[in-house]
Amino acid sequence: MGRLVVNEFRRAEEDGKATSVAWVVMPDHFHWLIELHNGDLPKLMQATKSRSARAINKARGLHETLWQKGYFDRALRREEDLKAMARYIVGNPLRAGIVDHIGEYSLWDAMWL
């Protein structure tokens, strides 16, 4: 199911809406660090969450609300802040105790890898 969310991150890139800097899909939420290009953040988030929810519901044969309304955002201004945030994002599975080593978790990526 997580790969269906990742597909929507890639779709945003293919559509020229954003460049993914780093992301991780957790069991009940995702973190997505982007450089926004064409469009605006609310529309991008609504489209990503809507399309991923439809894909996951179709795959599971369900019709449920998947994502909470809204999202939390934060603007980063300096390059060093960007890299620190990317490290924080990909470290989420470790801090959550899902894995002991990030290599054990497949639903993450960062542009520097």
Q: Is the pLDDT of residue 113 over 80?
A: no
Which region among 39-43, 76-80, 101-105 has the lowest average model confidence (pLDDT)? 76-80
Q: Is the pLDDT of residue 31 over 90?
A: yes
State the DSSP H helix or E strand holding residue 104, giving kind and residue range, or none if neither. none
Query: How does pLDDT run across 61-97, given as a tens digit for each residue?
Result: 999 999 999 999 988 888 778 989 999 999 999 999 9
CATH of the domain at 93: 3.30.70.1290
Q: Is 89 helix (H, G, I), strand (E, B) or coil?
A: helix
Q: Within 1-78, where are the H helices?
A: 2-14, 41-60
Q: Is 92 in contact with 26 (CB distance < 8 Å)? A: yes
Closest CA to 111 of 92, 83, 91: 83
Prediction pTM value: 0.91
Q: What is the average pLDDT value for the chain, to the nearest integer?
A: 94
Quote the domain boundaries for residue 38: 2-110
Residue-level pLDDT at 61: 96
Number of domains forming the structure of the chain: 1
Q: Is 93 in contact with 99 (CB distance < 8 Å)? A: yes
Closest CA to 2 of 92, 111, 100, 112: 92
**Nearest-10 crossing angle of helices 2-14, 41-60:** 140
Average pLDDT on 30-49 reads: 94
Residue-level pLDDT at 96: 98
In the chain, what percentage of residues exceed pLDDT 90?
88
